[in-house]
């Protein structure tokens, strides 16, 4: 999940295309290394579906986070008690935080289960390599998004 300032529909679409492409390419290469019968379409399907909870987080964030929260945070950096002006905002932030953690956890579960199904991975060494590839994927997508968008 990457935060882009002044995003629009084209920017969000490009970010998703970059993310899905990099995840698909790297996981497909790893899957082929583990199991020569790994199919590209299975990895692509996994890359599409694991992002679904992230889309839910984006919509929830848009609907629940106050529009002027960024300027409030910058203005009240030394007095954090002034960032949230009423208890409802605190409760909504807490609910949003929990929802974000649940959605991101579910996103990882979808990615792991999809990769496991597509590659028939069973050894712990494969999961260490999988985790390493996910970290590399995050670095590459972060770099490309900052450079291109």
Residue 3 lies in a domain: no
Q: Mean pLDDT across the stretch 70-77? A: 73
Q: Which domain holds residue 32?
A: 16-148
pLDDT at 4: 59
Question: Could you read off the pLDDT of 36-54 as tens digits, one per residue?
Answer: 999 999 999 999 999 999 8
Residue 2 lies in a domain: no
pLDDT at 65 exceeding the cut of 90: no
Whole-number mean pLDDT of the chain? Answer: 87
Residue 5 lies in a domain: no
Residue 9 lies in a domain: no
pLDDT bracket for residue 91 (50, 70, 90): confident
* Of 33 and 149, more confident: 33
Give how far Cα 20 sits from Cα of 78, 79, 88, 99, Å. Answer: 39, 40, 36, 23
Taking the whole predicted model, whether its pTM rises above 0.85 is answered as no
Residue 117 lies in a domain: yes
Residue 107 lies in a domain: yes
pLDDT at 13: 85
Residue 4 lies in a domain: no
Q: Mean pLDDT across the stretch 32-39? A: 95
Q: Mean pLDDT across the stretch 90-116? A: 91
Residue 11 lies in a domain: no
Domain count, the chain: 1
């Amino acid at each position: 999940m990457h935060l882009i300032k002044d995003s629009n529909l084209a920017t969000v679409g490009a970010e998703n295309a970059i993310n899905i492409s990099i995840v698909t390419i790297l996981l497909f290469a790893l899957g082929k290394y583990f199991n020569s019968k790994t199919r590209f379409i299975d990895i692509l399907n996994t890359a599409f579906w694991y992002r679904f909870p992230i889309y839910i987080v984006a919509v929830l964030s848009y609907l629940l986070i106050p529009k002027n929260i960024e300027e409030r945070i910058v203005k009240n950096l030394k007095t954090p008690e002034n960032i949230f002006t009423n208890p409802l905002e605190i409760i909504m932030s807490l609910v949003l935080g929990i929802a974000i953690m649940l959605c991101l956890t579910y996103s990882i579960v979808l990615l792991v289960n999809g990769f496991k199904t597509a590659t028939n991975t069973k050894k712990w060494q494969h999961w260490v390599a999988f985790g390493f590839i996910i970290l590399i994927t995050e670095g590459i997508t972060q770099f490309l998004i900052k450079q291109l968008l």
